[in-house]
Amino acid sequence: MQRIEILKSTYLDSVSLMRISKMATGAPGVSNAVISMATDTNLALMKEVGFRPDTIGEATPNDLVIAVEAESEDAVDRAFDMVKTEIKGGSRRGDAARAPRSLEAAIEEYPEINLVLISVPGRYAAYEARRALAAGRHVMIFSDNVSMEDEKNLKETGARDGLLVMGPDCGTAMIGGVGLGFANDVPPGKIGIVSASGTGAQEVASILARLGLGVSHIIGTGGRDVSSGVGAITMKAGLAGLADDVATEVIVIISKAPDTGVAEGILAMAAEAGKPCIVNFAGRSEAGGEGNLTFTTTLTEAALAAAWALTGKADEIPAGTGLEGDTHDLSMQIAPPRRYLRGLYSGGTLAQEALFLLVPSLGAIHSNLHVEGLPTLRDPGVSEGHTIVDLGDDVFTRGRAHPMIDQAQRLARLTREARDPEVAVILLDVVLGYGCNGDPGGEIAAALRETARSLDAGVTMPLIVASICGTHGDPQGYGRQKRALEAAGVVVASTNARACELAGGLLKGVCDG
- The CATH fold of domain 103-311: Rossmann fold (3.40.50)
* Residue closest to 180 by CA, chosen among 207, 198, 155: 198
CA distance 28 to 39: 28
Residue 194 scores a pLDDT above 50:
yes
pLDDT exceeds 80 at position 509: no
Q: Give the residue with greater pLDDT, 325 vs 343.
A: 343
Give tens-digit pLDDT for 271-295: 999 999 999 998 777 777 889 999 9
What pLDDT is stored for residue 54 in this prediction?
A: 72
DSSP 226: G
Closest CA to 390 of 352, 340, 423: 352
pLDDT for 91? 43
In what side-by-side order are the strands of the sheet with 2-7? 2-7, 64-70, 30-37
Percent of the chain past pLDDT 90, that is, above it, reads: 64
User: What was the pLDDT predicted at 43?
Assistant: 79
319 or 256, higher pLDDT: 256
What pLDDT score was predicted for residue 45?
Answer: 72
Confidence of residue 122 (pLDDT cuts 50, 70, 90): confident
Contacts (Cβ under 8 Å, ≥6 apart) of 242: 192, 194, 216, 217, 219, 248, 251, 273, 275
Residue type, position 188, single letter: P
Task: Kindly state the average pLDDT of the residues 335-360.
Answer: 93
Q: What CA–CA distance (Å, rounded) separates 97 from 89?
A: 9
CA pair distance 346, 348, nearest whole angstrom: 6
| Residue 501 pLDDT exceeds 80 | yes
d(CA 123, CA 261): 30
For residues 436 and 182, the answer to whether their CB atoms sit within 8 Å is yes
How far is Cα 488 from Cα 75, in angstroms, rounded to an integer? 32
Which strands make up the sheet holding 423-431, listed edge to edge? 366-367, 387-390, 340-345, 423-431, 463-469, 491-493
Q: Which amino acid is at 22?
A: K
Q: What is the DSSP letter of 214?
A: -
Strand partners, 251: 192, 277
Q: What pLDDT, on the 0 to 100 scale, is given for residue 96?
A: 46
> Which phi and psi (to 5°) does residue 157 adopt?
-65, -45
For residue 428, what is the enclosing H or E element? strand 423-431
Give the closest residue to 49 by CA, choosing from 61, 64, 65. Answer: 65
Distance of CA 379 to the CA centre of its chain: 22
Looking at residue 95, what is its pLDDT? 46
**Is the pLDDT assigned to residue 94 strictly greater than 50?**
no
At residue 397, the pLDDT reads: 79
Tell me the pLDDT tens digit for each residue of 409-452.
Answer: 999 999 999 999 999 999 999 999 998 999 999 999 999 999 99
Q: What is the pLDDT of residues 361-400, one digit of tens each?
A: 999 999 999 888 999 999 999 999 999 999 998 888 776 7
Residue 436 CB coordination number (10 Å) = 24
365-372, long-range: CB < 8 A, 24+ apart: 365/341, 368/393, 368/395, 371/283
Task: Find the range with the poorest average confidence among 229-233, 319-323, 333-337.
Answer: 319-323
Count the alpha carbons within 13 Å of 321 in the hemisphere toward its beta carbon.
18
What is the tens place of the pLDDT at every residue in 30-65? 988 888 888 777 777 777 777 877 766 778 877 888
Q: Which one, of 133, 342, 28, 51, lies nearest residue 36 by Cα?
A: 51
| DSSP 8-state class, residue 37 | E
What is the residue extent of each domain of the chain? 2-96, 103-311, 340-512
Instruction: Measure the CA–CA gap between 235 and 115, rounded to whole angstroms.
Output: 17
Class of domain 340-512: alpha beta
Residue 313's identity, in one-letter code, is K
3 state SS of 330:
coil
- pLDDT per residue over 204-263, tens digit each? 999 999 999 999 999 999 999 999 999 999 999 999 999 999 999 999 999 988 999 999
Alpha-carbon gap, residue 366 to 380, rounded angstroms:
9
CATH architecture for the domain at 2-96: 2-Layer Sandwich (3.30)
Question: How far apart, in whole angstroms, are the C-alpha atoms of residue 290 and residue 350?
Answer: 26
For residue 326, how many other CB atoms are within 10 A of its CB? 18
Residue-level pLDDT at 191: 98
DSSP 289: E
- Given CA atoms 195, 197, 202, 207 in this order, what sign does their dihedral have? negative
2-96 and 103-311 agree in CATH topology: no
Distance CA 48, CA 138 (A): 37
pLDDT interval class at 330 (50, 70, 90): low
Of the pLDDT bands very low, low, confident and very high (cuts 50, 70, 90), residue 93 is: very low
CA distance 201 to 365: 25
Q: Rounded distance, CA 355 to CA 496, Å?
A: 11
Distance, CA of 70 to CA of 439 (rounded, Å): 24
Q: Between 233-244 and 260-271, two packed helices, what is the crossing angle to 10 degrees?
A: 10
Could you say which DSSP state residue 499 is in?
H
CB 265 within 8 A of CB 289: no
Q: How much helix, strand and coil, in percent to the nearest 5, is found in the chain? A: 40, 20, 40
What does the mean pLDDT of the chain come to?
89
How many helices and strands (H and E) does the chain possess?
16, 20
Do 369 and 392 contact (CB within 8 A), yes or no?
no
